[in-house]
């Protein structure tokens, strides 16, 4: 199934190449929208695209994030700088779920106490763990801090099973192909399809409707696909937004 996104950078809706975000220079950017976050929230609401995410990529995005959540209360997830101090605030702003990565890892190490505290605030049913990853030594490793820092946690069957105890879904960007529109990482998709106990949303590299159809089929709809830079609403030429919407409307799950 198609999941929509609203990626925010410096208060604007953008599509950014994964792994180029840091504090030293401007990231590689595929698209900067003339429309604000509320425009996209209104569009997704009209098409009833549940499970989309708003991601704050760095500071200066709170007002834009609130505008999107307020436009479709209960219809969008929020991620980026979420922690135990602001979790209740973002739920009050209308987020259906909170997406968390960096807060539960400190200097690359998983912090059980932080995750336990967060779950007490959100409940398992409103928490999504972002286990976005990059490849190192032929393995997938969870990355944090705008995808710039490797953690000590490998993304595999064991970690997926462990983290599934604490959240409702997983969100996983394949950072090495994010924003490149050169095809999805099917090895990662198959790992999620075969080993994740939870529904996962995969993002990174989608370039055609075939990607959406293939991922939905091989995972029996247990892996959903976020499409960003390839969409015409984000300046892309490969995939029409309306085609992705119509796919969701016409999809019939197999038994």
- Predicted pLDDT of residue 44: 98
Strands (E), the chain: 2-3, 5-9, 12-16, 29-32, 52-56, 76-79, 95-100, 105-106, 109-110, 127-130, 133-136, 139-144, 149-154, 169-173, 200-203, 223-226
What's phi and psi for 37, nearest 5 deg?
A: -65, -35
> Which residue in 12, 32, 18, 13 sits closest to 202, CA to CA?
18
The residues pairing with 154 across neighbouring beta strands, listed in sequence order, are 141
* Domain spanning 2-250, CATH architecture: Alpha-Beta Barrel (3.20)
Q: Each residue's pLDDT tens digit in the chain (255 positions)? A: 999 999 999 999 998 755 555 554 566 777 888 999 999 999 999 999 999 999 998 899 999 999 999 999 999 999 999 999 999 999 999 999 999 999 999 888 999 999 999 999 999 999 999 999 999 999 999 999 878 899 999 999 999 999 999 999 999 999 998 777 788 999 999 999 999 999 999 999 999 999 999 999 999 999 999 998 899 999 999 999 999 999 999 987 654
Secondary structure (3-state) at 248: helix
What does the alpha-carbon distance between residue 252 and residue 132 come to, in Å, rounded to a whole number?
28
Q: Is the dihedral of CA 154, 160, 162, 163 positive or negative?
A: positive
Cβ-in-10-Å burial (0-12, 13-18, 19+) of 99 comes to buried
Condensed to tens digits (0 to 9), the pLDDT of residues 157-177 reads 999 999 999 999 999 999 998
Domain limits of the chain?
A: 2-250
- Give the helix ranges, DSSP H, for 47-196: 62-71, 87-92, 112-122, 157-163, 186-195
């Amino acid at each position: 199934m198609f999941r929509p996104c609203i990626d925010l950078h410096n208060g604007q809706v953008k599509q950014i190449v994964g792994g180029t975000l840091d504090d030293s220079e401007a990231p590689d950017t595929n698209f900067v929208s003339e429309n604000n976050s509320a425009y996209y929230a209104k569009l997704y609401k009209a098409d009833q695209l549940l499970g989309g995410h708003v991601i704050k990529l760095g500071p200066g995005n709170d007002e834009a994030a609130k505008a999107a959540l307020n436009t479709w209360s209960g219809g969008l997830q929020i991620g980026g700088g979420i922690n135990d101090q602001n979790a209740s605030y973002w739920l009050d702003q209308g987020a259906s779920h909170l997406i968390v990565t960096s807060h539960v890892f400190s200097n690359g190490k998983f912090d059980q106490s932080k995750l336990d505290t967060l779950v007490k605030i959100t409940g398992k049913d409103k928490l999504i763990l972002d286990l976005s990853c990059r490849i190192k030594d032929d393995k997938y490793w969870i990355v944090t801090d705008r995808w710039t820092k490797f953690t000590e946690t490998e993304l595999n069957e064991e970690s997926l099973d462990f983290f599934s105890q604490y959240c409702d879904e997983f969100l996983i960007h394949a950072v090495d192909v994010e924003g490149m529109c050169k095809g999805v990482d099917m090895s990662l998709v198959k790992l999620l399809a075969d080993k994740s106990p939870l529904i996962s949303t995969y993002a990174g590299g989608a370039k055609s409707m075939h990607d959406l159809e293939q991922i939905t089929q091989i995972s029996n709809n247990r892996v959903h696909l976020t499409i960003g830079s390839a969409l015409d609403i984000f300046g892309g030429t490969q995939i029409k937004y309306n085609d992705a919407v119509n796919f969701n409307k016409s999809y019939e799950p197999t038994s």
